[in-house]
Structures are given as structure tokens and as C-alpha cells.
């Protein structure tokens, strides 16, 4: 009965809408989603929450810099979050925004309760503030006078603020962490937190007067509630805490707050202390996962190396991206992102191991059994070994999921994929098919292959929700929903016999990275061409100021070398001299100029254009040219002006 189902409440951090989300944020949400989907399959009544943390000075400043109100700004970015989660097939039950009334009310209510209890008091605050991180630091926490988290400069701020008497909860907190070994996971983070608390908890500044984009302190409107009380409260405001909503009764305390290692401290010290102050139960578990890094370190907007998950989904498909993220970050540790590693995973694990298993299995059923899934008969030792392996895999995956060991759980599924591929080699159904006396042996082997494949597919469901329907379709069991469930793999042999399969396209086509680059390039050159044609016949509009124009640094440059770019009909690679330096420029002029026709020409180049990679070549500028119809001419000078001269 539905009412008796065990509940499971899982959350992600609520992300800052200061910018678009990157692949690291996608990791947290995909990991939480996989867990939510798994628990649903295991019969839990799951509530899965994600959302946006929309207040604070950083967002206020960011909005101002682009001429928008904070609300306009966050509305736009949050729409992008929702689109991304939809594309990633995130199955969240709610999406909380801290600008919503339902949230504001709860935050003010909690603040008031803490104040009434004497846990919040007013005092003068002086501290080192990092605006991008929205964090105050003590002098001794700074590293080289900069923020220890992001390394950027901090400012000394002094103001009247409200403080939360967190020190009061130090002992209770420590006791809770020590008595509940599961509360902070993995254990390394738990130890870090214990030493942090043991070194002494200071009271926490919980209001600001230096900006206004936040929730006002209910009894002192010139203060806004500082981000962490505001943000953390989302986990209960979304359940309708205080409004009589049955969701709060039903789902609180949370079973799992999944967060990145960067914010474990806030979730295991500040949040529990707030809950203790308000008199609410603490979440059962906080899991601090590792980071997804690039070879050169963290992703950051300023370094321009942020990986956009939307682009990757469009290019490789959502299941492949989800698989890669879960597989690549070992539980609790950091993982490294590279597109090559992603393609490698797709080609090896998905196309080769899994995809081939599907196509071999369906091909053999087609060829050796008229397209029907056979019925098994006597089990031989080699079959038993596969069956036991499959059954053991199910229990291993179940145990690993309990420990939030997602990467290892997927690793176990892949061991079964490979074991099944090996079983095919060992039993050689093609040889059995040649001998009519081995008919029933062949049928058993074919059945075992498909049943093991079905086990793998069911177990993949939480991680790659798009995959199972494709496999079930090919196996002809798309309507047999009772064999898609987790329960159905708790016993071997649920797969029905006599079903007709439908062979189909490869489930995961192999990716040829070289070909893909060329296609992308051609698409972007094509788009560029179209745009140019459009522009020529357009009316002159979009006025700009002289200041705006002067941001474009146009210079005279001499072409020193020119050569054709391999596999690109339209491109020439030029080396140009700007007097003070030489630059490489890739220009789309190869259909109009032979390389030696441009060498020696003095041209005009946009010298401060952000470098871009074109066919693997970093192009460091753009030469000016005019075109209409099928004519194109490079802009040159009618007098001999020295290279490097500014063009105004």
C-alpha cells in the first residue's frame, strides 16, 4: 500500500544563478538523480529536490553589470537550469527558488524563532570578505591575504550585524557526529569536520547591511539575511515547513543531502546547528563528493575553460554523458574531465561492450532461433557460473548503492556485461547451431545470454534512463513491464520465452572524433557563410557609439606566410606580422585567393579578438574582407603604412 512505503528524501545543493551551470554542477545533479531513480525502483516513496540559490551581493552586482534587475537576471539563468535538467532527464519532484514566497516566509520564521530563543544577537562585525564566494574569513584563514577558497583578493568590512550563537551548539554537534558515523560521508570528510569543530566554533554572522538583494530580517528591515541561513533553509521550505503541509511530516528529516566537498562544512556544521536551535531533527546523511577537474585545474569562467553540458548532450547524447559522469568520478574523490576520455568511454564501454552485446545477442537469436527468445533447459556448470555471477552483481550493486558508491556500482554492472560477452565466446553458439543434436543446448545458451543482458539493462536504468527502452524494444519485451523492474532481477529467469525480437540500429554508435571535428567545422563555416550573405543586403541599423567601436583593436599587418588547411576547402592559415608580434590567423578566403597571392599583402586585422580553435589551429585574430555574391576581397591599404599602425 502506498501509505506504507518507506520514504526517501534526497537533495542537491541549490545552485547559484550567477552564471550558466557547467559539467561539474551536472555531475552532482546526475548523481542525485541516479540515486533517486534507484530508490524509486526499490519501492521507496522518493522526494527529490533541487533548486536555485538566488540572493546575495554577487548576483546583485552581476545583474547590475549587465543592466538588469536581480530578478530579471536570475529568472533568465534559472530558466536555463530547468532546461538543462530536462535535457539531462533529471527526475526532480520539486524545484525551489529562494526568491519564492513559500521560501521567504520560512526563512523569516526560522530567523525569528532563533532570535526569540536568544540564539541570534546583534553586534559589530569586522572581517575579511570574499565577494565572489560570499564568505567572511578570519585573518588567520586567509592565504597570502587572499580568499583561501578561490584565491581572489578580500576586503575588510566592518558593520553592525546579527550573529548566530553557533558556539553554543559545538558540544552537541560533536557528540552527534561521533555517535552517528554515517552522518558525514565519506569518512575522510567526517574527520575533517571533527577537527574543524574541535578547533573551536565561532559565532556566525547571519545578516548584512551592505546589499539589499536578500530576505529582510523580519524585525529589522535594514538587514538582509546572509546567504547561508537563507540557502540551507530551502531543504525544509520546499517541504512546506510551518504551513501544515503533510510533505514536511512525511519526508523530514532528509535521508541524503548530496553536496560537493566545498560545501560540506556548511551542511554538517551550520545547518545542523540551525536545526538544533529551531528544534528540528537533523538530516540522516550528508555526502560530500569530489570535484570534476580539468587537467589544468578547476573550471572557471575567467580562465574560459568552462565545459558546457548542453553542448555535450547535443553532441554525444544524454545517456553517454550521464554514464561518463557517474563512471569517471570515483566516489568521494576527484575525477578529471577530458573530451578524449569521454569519447573513449563511449567507444569502449558503451559501443563495444554494451552495444555489441545487444547486437550480437539479437543477431544470434534472429539467425539461430528464427527471431524468437527460446526457453532454457538443463543448466550446465558454465551457465550456472553466469547466473550466479549475475545474481551476485545485483547484490553487489545494491550494497554499493547503499554506500553511495555510484561509480563502483556501474563498474560492477560492466563486469557482468563483460562476463556475458565472455560467456558467448566460451559457449560459441555459432558452433552449437551447426549441430542439430545440440539444439536444446543452443536454446539454453541463447536464453542465458539474453537474460544476463536483461539483468545489465535493468541495473542501468537509474544511471541511463534512456537506454532500457531501446534495449527492451530490440528484445521485443517493451510491453512486458514486469521484467523491467528491480524485483524482476532478484530471481533469474523472469524473461519470457517465445517473444519475437526486433533487431535495430546500434544502441551506441562509435564516435570518430576526427570526423566529428570536421563536420562541426563545416557546419560552422556554413553558418558563417549564410550570415555573411544575410548581412550584405540588410539595412544599416544597430547604431554603436564611438567608444564601442574603439574597443575593436584594428591594426595593419603583413602576411608573411600562407598555406591551405588540410581537409578544409575554405580555409587558409596565415602568419601575419604586427610589428610588435606575429600572429597565426585562420581565414575563410581559400576559395578566392591562392596562398601565394596573399603573401606580402598588407591587410587589416582585428588584433584583440579572443583566440578560437579552428580545425585544431588556434586562430589569434581575423582579417577584414568584404564579400557579396560570389566575390570576396581582402581589405588592403592604398599607401604604404607600417605594420602595427592602428586603423581607426
CB nearer to ligand MSP: pick between 263 and 312: 263
Q: Which is nearer to ligand MSP, 405 or 558 (CB)?
A: 405
Q: Does 96 bind ligand MSP (CB under 6 A)?
A: no
Please spell the DSSP secondary structure of 253-299, one letter per residue: SPSEEEEEGGGHHIIIIIHHHHHHHHT-PPPS-EEEE--EEBTTBS-
Residue 292 binds ligand MSP (CB under 6 A): yes
C-alpha span between 318 and 310 (Å, rounded): 9
How many residues touch ligand MSP under the rule CB under 6 A: the total is 19
Q: How far is the CB of 137 from ligand MSP (least distance, A)?
A: 16
Q: How far is the CB of 401 from ligand MSP (least distance, A)?
A: 19
User: In this complex, which beta carbon is closest to ligand MSP, that of residue 299 or of residue 571?
Assistant: 299
Judged by CB under 6 A, which stretch of 24-32, 68-76, 80-88, 313-321 contacts ligand MSP?
24-32
Q: Which residues on neighbouring strands pair with residue 163, listed in sequence order?
A: 121, 205
The reply to whether 230 sits near ligand MSP by the rule CB under 6 A is: no
Among 25, 62, 97, 601, the residue binding ligand MSP under the rule CB under 6 A is 25
Per CB under 6 A, the segment of 151-159, 254-262, 272-280, 508-516 that binds ligand MSP is: 254-262
CA dist 196 and 416 (Å) reads 42
Residues 181, 177: Cα–Cα separation, whole Å: 6
Q: Is 77 in the site for ligand MSP (CB under 6 A)?
A: no
According to CB under 6 A, which one of 8, 10, 13, 316 is a site residue for ligand MSP?
Answer: 13
Nearer to ligand MSP among residue 205 and residue 614 (C-beta): 205
User: For the chain, give me the number of helices (H) and strands (E)?
Assistant: 23, 24
* Binding residue (CB under 6 A) for ligand MSP from 132, 148, 153, 260: 260
Closer by beta carbon to ligand MSP, 90 or else 623: 90
H helices of 546-614, where? Answer: 546-550, 595-598
Candidate list 14, 114, 400, 562; residue touching ligand MSP; CB under 6 A: 14
Burial class of residue 335 in the structure, from the number of CB atoms within 10 Å of its CB (0-12 exposed, 13-18 middle, 19+ buried): buried
Q: How far is the CB of 636 from ligand MSP (least distance, A)?
A: 47
Short-list 300, 293, 355, 294, CA closest to 323: 355
The closest alpha carbon to 620, from 588, 575, 590, belongs to 575
Cell 550573529 locates to 163
Tell me the C-alpha distance between 463 and 30, whole Å.
Answer: 8
Which distant-in-sequence residues (6+ apart) come within 8 Å of 484 by Cβ?
458, 461, 468, 472, 477
Q: What is the DSSP letter of 350?
A: I
Nearer to ligand MSP among residue 294 and residue 645 (C-beta): 294
Q: How far is the CB of 131 from ligand MSP (least distance, A)?
A: 14
Give 229 or 559: the residue with its C-beta nearer to ligand MSP: 229
Structural contact between residues 197 and 166, judged by C-beta atoms closer than 8 angstroms: no
Among 94, 126, 262, 314, which residue interacts with ligand MSP (rule: CB under 6 A)? 262
Binder of ligand MSP out of 232, 446, 554, 574 (CB under 6 A): 232
Contact, 445 vs 427, CB < 8 A?
Answer: yes
Q: How far is CA 412 from CA 88, 393, 456, 614, in A?
A: 23, 6, 10, 40
**Whole-angstrom distance, CA of residue 345 vs CA of residue 353:** 10
Q: What is the DSSP string of 59-71?
A: HHHHHHHTT--HH
Instruction: Tell how strand 617-619 and strand 612-614 pair up.
Output: antiparallel
Which residues between 297 and 326 bind ligand MSP (CB under 6 A)?
299
**Closer CB to ligand MSP, 24 or 376, in the complex:** 24
185 vs 234 by CB, closer to ligand MSP: 234
Cβ atoms 96, 104 nearer than 8 A = no
Binding ligand MSP by CB under 6 A: which of 177, 263, 275, 282? 263
Which residue's Cβ lies closest to ligand MSP? 24
In the complex, the smallest distance separating the C-beta of residue 56 from ligand MSP, rounded to whole angstroms, is: 9
Cβ–Cβ < 8 Å for 323, 280:
no
Cα Rg for the chain, rounded, in angstroms? 30
Cβ 231 to ligand MSP, closest distance in Å? 4
291 sits near ligand MSP (criterion: CB under 6 A): yes
For the bound state, the minimum distance from the C-beta of residue 230 to ligand MSP, rounded and expressed in Å, comes to 9
**Residues between 553 and 572 that touch ligand MSP (CB under 6 A):** none
Helices (H), 88-127: 101-116
Q: Does 15 bind ligand MSP (CB under 6 A)?
A: yes
* Identity of the residue, 292 or 397, whose beta carbon is nearer to ligand MSP in the bound complex: 292
Grid cell at residue 492: 533469474
CA distances from 257 to 43, 47, 343, 534 (A): 20, 12, 31, 51
CB of residue 28 vs ligand MSP: minimum separation in angstroms? 4
Binders in 31-60 for ligand MSP, by CB under 6 A: 53
Residue with cell 582579417: 623
Among 8, 9, 10, 24, binds ligand MSP (CB under 6 A): 24
Give whichever of 299 and 467 is closer to ligand MSP, judged by the CB atom.
299
Which residue, 122 or 265, is less far from ligand MSP as judged by CB? 265
Applying CB under 6 A, which of residues 90, 256, 259, 413 lies at the interface with ligand MSP?
259
Which residue number, 292 or 364, has a Cβ lying nearer to ligand MSP?
Answer: 292
Q: Can you tell me the distance from the alpha carbon of 224 to that of 226, in angstroms, rounded to the nearest whole number? A: 6
What are the residues binding ligand MSP (CB under 6 A)? 13-16, 24-25, 27-28, 53, 231-232, 234, 259-260, 262-263, 291-292, 299
Amino acid at each position: 500500500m502506498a501509505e506504507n512505503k518507506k520514504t526517501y528524501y534526497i537533495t542537491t545543493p541549490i545552485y547559484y544563478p550567477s552564471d550558466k551551470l557547467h559539467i561539474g554542477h551536472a555531475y552532482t545533479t546526475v548523481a542525485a538523480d541516479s540515486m533517486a531513480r534507484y530508490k524509486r525502483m526499490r519501492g521507496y516513496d522518493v522526494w527529490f529536490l533541487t533548486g536555485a540559490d538566488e540572493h546575495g551581493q554577487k548576483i546583485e552586482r552581476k545583474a547590475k553589470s549587465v543592466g538588469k534587475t536581480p530578478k530579471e537576471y536570475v529568472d533568465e539563468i534559472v530558466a536555463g537550469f530547468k532546461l538543462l535538467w530536462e535535457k539531462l532527464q533529471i527526475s526532480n519532484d520539486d524545484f525551489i527558488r529562494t526568491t519564492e514566497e513559500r521560501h521567504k516566509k520560512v526563512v523569516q520564521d526560522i530567523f525569528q524563532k532563533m532570535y526569540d530563543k536568544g540564539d541570534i544577537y546583534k553586534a559589530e562585525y569586522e572581517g575579511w570578505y570574499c565577494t565572489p564566494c560570499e564568505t567572511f574569513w578570519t585573518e588567520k584563514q586567509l592565504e597570502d591575504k587572499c580568499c583561501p577558497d578561490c584565491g581572489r583578493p578580500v576586503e575588510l568590512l566592518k558593520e553592525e550585524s546579527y550573529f548566530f550563537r553557533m558556539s553554543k551548539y559545538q558540544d552537541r554537534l560533536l557528540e552527534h557526529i561521533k555517535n552517528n558515523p554515517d552522518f558525514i560521508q565519506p569518512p575522510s570528510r567526517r574527520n575533517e569536520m571533527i577537527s574543524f569543530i574541535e578547533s573551536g566554533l565561532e559565532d556566525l554572522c547571519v545578516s548584512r547591511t551592505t546589499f539589499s538583494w536578500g530576505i529582510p530580517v523580519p524585525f529589522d528591515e535594514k538587514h538582509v539575511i546572509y546567504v547561508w541561513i537563507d540557502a540551507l533553509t530551502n531543504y525544509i521550505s520546499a517541504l512546506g515547513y510551518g504551513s501544515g503541509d503533510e510533505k514536511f511530516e512525511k519526508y523530514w528529516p532528509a535521508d541524503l543531502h548530496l553536496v560537493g566537498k566545498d560545501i560540506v562544512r556548511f551542511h554538517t556544521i551550520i545547518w545542523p546547528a540551525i536545526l538544533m536551535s529551531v528544534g528540528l531533527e537533523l538530516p540522516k546523511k550528508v555526502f560530500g563528493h569530489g570535484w570534476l577537474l580539468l587537467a589544468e585545474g578547476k573550471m572557471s569562467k575567467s580562465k574560459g575553460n568552462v565545459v558546457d553540458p548542453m553542448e555535450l548532450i547535443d553532441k554525444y547524447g544524454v545517456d553517454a554523458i550521464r554514464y561518463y559522469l557517474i563512471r569517471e568520478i570515483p566516489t568521494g574523490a576527484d575525477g578529471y574531465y577530458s573530451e578524449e576520455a569521454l569519447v573513449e568511454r563511449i567507444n569502449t564501454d558503451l559501443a563495444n561492450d554494451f552495444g555489441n552485446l545487444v547486437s550480437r545477442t539479437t543477431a544470434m537469436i534472429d539467425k539461430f532461433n528464427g527471431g524468437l527468445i527460446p526457453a532454457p533447459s538443463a543448466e550446465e556448470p558454465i551457465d550456472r557460473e553466469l547466473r550466479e555471477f549475475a545474481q551476485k552483481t545485483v547484490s553487489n550493486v545494491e550494497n554499493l548503492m547503499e554506500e553511495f558508491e555510484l561509480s563502483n556500482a556501474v563498474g560492477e554492472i560492466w563486469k557482468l556485461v563483460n562476463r556475458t560477452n565472455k560467456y558467448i565466446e566460451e559457449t560459441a553458439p555459432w558452433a552449437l547451431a551447426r549441430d542439430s543434436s545440440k539444439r536444446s543446448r543452443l536454446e539454453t545458451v541463447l536464453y542465458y545470454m539474453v537474460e544476463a543482458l536483461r539483468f545489465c539493462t535493468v541495473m542501468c536504468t537509474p544511471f541511463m534512463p534512456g537506454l532500457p527502452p531501446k534495449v527492451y524494444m530490440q528484445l521485443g519485451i517493451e510491453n512486458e513491464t514486469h521484467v523491467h523492474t528491480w524485483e524482476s532481477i532478484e530471481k533469474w529467469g523472469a524473461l519470457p520465452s517465445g517473444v519475437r525480437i526486433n533487431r535495430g540500429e546500434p544502441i551506441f554508435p562509435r564516435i570518430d572524433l576526427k570526423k566529428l571535428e570536421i563536420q562541426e567545422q563545416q557546419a560552422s563555416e556554413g553558418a558563417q557563410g549564410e550570415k555573411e550573405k544575410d548581412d550584405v543586403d540588410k539595412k544599416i541599423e544597430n547604431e554603436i557609439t564611438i567608444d564601442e567601436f574603439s574597443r575593436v583593436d584594428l591594426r595593419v599587418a603583413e602576411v608573411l606566410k600562407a598555406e591551405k588547411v588540410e581537409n578544409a576547402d575554405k580555409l587558409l592559415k596565415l602568419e601575419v606580422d604586427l610589428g610588435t608580434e606575429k600572429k597565426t590567423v585562420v581565414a575563410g578566403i581559400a576559395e578566392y585567393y591562392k596562398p601565394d597571392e596573399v603573401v606580402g599583402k598588407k591587410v587589416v586585422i582585428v588584433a584583440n579578438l579572443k583566440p578560437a580553435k579552428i580545425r585544431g589551429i588556434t586562430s589569434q585574430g581575423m582579417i577584414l574582407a568584404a564579400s557579396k555574391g560570389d566575390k570576396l576581397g581582402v581589405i588592403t591599404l592604398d599607401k604604404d603604412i607600417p605594420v602595427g599602425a592602428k586603423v581607426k
